[in-house]
Amino acid sequence: MCGVVGYIGKNLSRAYVMQGLSRLEYRGYDSAGFACLEPETNRLACVKAKGQLLNLVQALNEHPVDGYVGIGHTRWSTHGIVSHENAHPHVDCDENISIVHNGIIENYAAIRAFLQQSNHHFRSQTDTEVIAHLLENECAHSQTLLDAVVKTVVQLQGAYSFTCIGHFFPNQIVAVRKGSPLCIGIGQNEMFVASDVLAFAGLTDQVIYVPDETIALVSNSRVQLYDFNGNVRAIELEKVAISWSDDGKNGYEHFMLKEIFEQKNGIAATLSYLKSIQETVWQQIGLDAQAIKKLSSISLIAAGTSWHAARIGQFFFEEICRFPVRVVLASEFRYMPFFKEENNFHMAISQSGETADTLECVRLIKHAGAHTIGLTNVSSSTIVRETDGFLLTKAGQEISVASTKAFSTQLAALYWLAHRIALEKGIITDKQMEHSCDHLLIAAETLENCIERYRNRIVNELAPYYATFNKCIFLGRNISYPFALEAALKLKEVSYIFAQCYPAGELKHGPIALLAPDTPVILFSTLDPLIYQKLISNAQEVKARDGHLLVFAFEDQSELCALANEYVVIPRVHPLLGPLAMTGLMQFLVYHIAKTRNCPIDKPRHLAKSVTVE
């Protein structure tokens, strides 16, 4: 989940590395560091800082270092506490080699113990530092740098990528990938290395996506690729159209708030893109019309917010396409028995397209010979390159760690795809397909209008009140249950309030014991008449025990509102799109609760935007 950046070329490296790190800080912000080779001596110079990247900027202003070869890192902690000592880059005993690393070295403890017996002195608690010492050890017993790197990587277990520079190889950056993403940008007498092409967007459009289990030796004018046995690999150069937006917050106090208000346009843009490929969509996802007609089930695999979108999407496909859908957490799927099914596909959903657990599931499924499809917001992501086909959401760049518009555009894409499959199967008509697009646009408009309608009440009344609690319960039923899961996750992420979500029907099977004056209950309604009646019964259970109830209801649900201490009312939309219509209001309330509690909304503690470790 860390961000890795490197530069070698005709210019001093620090500005390029720091710009890249600023774009990759979404991958972690526990600490940051920069290392370079001093131009005249080729000695390593390194500056590190605990905390966000701004702290490193200040440290470099106080202790300026620069060179034509440099690497940088922004950290999300896996091994070792957040501290200056554990910040990257890490060095070997004699400070001749400097390493920045993303991923996990699973056997680091055994390697560390072995190296300590050989009198290597460690300065940190991290798994990363063993790479520097191991490479130092192998360099002393190898004739070439490549030979030393090969001997190093074959001893490392886990999923990782790392970049290193050294006093004894001053004209090269070593870059290694196994499992974790890494790419190289090709410039004019300069090269860029990074975890994500965003780091050097606008500086070059020529990119090498480093293959898995590959060593790259990068000079300012040449890239050489080798496999882990030291054999030459062919280079595949790609031209990418990717840009970095420096629009900032556009007057909003936080990126999260800006992105909440960008959802209507993001849904419209996603729908416009999907309509533009309507006739070629099966080719886009690597199938054909006959395969879609025979489709009898699908599997959706995701993590976090994307998993909640998939859980809601399950209702879309089962109701509209009339076949069963399996939704699985990526972190669990990997370690479960896999049964290949006929007439089935597996869709991996990831905002960044770099989620480690989800990517490992894709690789497992492909190895078994089953079909994979990616759904992501990033066209240049690993998931796009490794799946058999893909669809994109058009949310635009999402900066805030807590996902908002990526979630709503995923729902839009899944709703559209369910209808497109149903159309191909002859379950719905062309006219119904057109209506489904209208339904999405209406729900998107409702999403935004509800925020405007309740803005003052949330800011002045509801958020200040609910910000005083330290725990709460979320309830939903049927399609509103996975939405309640997402709401609880959002509250936990940005406000640090302990929030537990339950299916409303399970309340009486244990969780009802938690009802207390200091634990409000937030209930999300549905537009299904039968489920609505069941939710009324659940609300009665809460009130019978003097529980405090906040309800997200729809128009003409006065009976449920009458039971609530507080309620908001959302206009009616298509029943399957109730969660989408409620999304903006839920996020806006959570945002203002976090703001009232003075939380760092865009960069919550311990989190990262892109989860690139298991």
Return the active site residues. Answer: 2, 609
Q: CB under 8 Å to 131, separation ≥6 — which residues?
A: 90, 99, 101, 105, 152, 156, 162, 164
Strands 471-476 and 521-524: parallel
Q: CB under 8 Å to 153, separation ≥6 — which residues?
A: 176, 178, 215, 228
Q: Residues 206, 188: contact at Cβ < 8 Å?
A: no
- Rounded CA gap, 341 and 370, in Å? 8
Six-digit token string for 58: 């200040």
Q: Residues 163, 146: contact at Cβ < 8 Å?
A: no
Six-digit token string for 445: 């408009």
Cα dist from 250 to 245, 254, 259, 405, whole Å = 12, 9, 10, 16
Q: Residues 72, 48: contact at Cβ < 8 Å?
A: no
CA 86 to chain centre: 24
Cα dist from 569 to 504, 561, 562, whole Å = 19, 9, 12
- Rounded CA gap, 520 and 473, in Å? 6
Scanning the structure block, which residue is given the tokens 């070629």? 280
- DSSP letters spanning 433-497: HHHHHHHHHHHHHHHHHHHHHHHHHIIIIIHHHHTT-SEEEEEE-TTHHHHHHHHHHHHHHHH--
Strands 97-105 and 158-166: antiparallel
Cα dist from 586 to 408, 483, 568, whole Å = 12, 10, 10
Q: Residues 269, 396: contact at Cβ < 8 Å?
A: yes
Task: Supply the Cα-derived Rg of the chain in whole angstroms.
Answer: 26
- DSSP letters spanning 222-286: -EEEEETTS-EE---EEE--------TTTT-SSHHHHHHHTHHHHHHHHHHHHHHTTTTHHHHTT
Query: Mapped to the 3 state alphabet, what secondary structure does 42-56 carry?
Result: CCEEEEEEECCHHHH
Residue of 531, 583, 576, 580 lying closest to 557 (CA atoms): 531
Q: Which residue type occupies 204?
A: T
Q: Residues 549, 517: contact at Cβ < 8 Å?
A: no
Scanning the structure block, which residue is given the tokens 């209001």? 585
Six-digit token string for 154: 């074959």
Six-digit token string for 304: 């976090």
Q: Give the DSSP H/E element, type plus range, for residue 502.
A: strand 498-503
- Rounded CA gap, 269 and 276, in Å? 11
Q: Residues 126, 112: contact at Cβ < 8 Å?
A: no
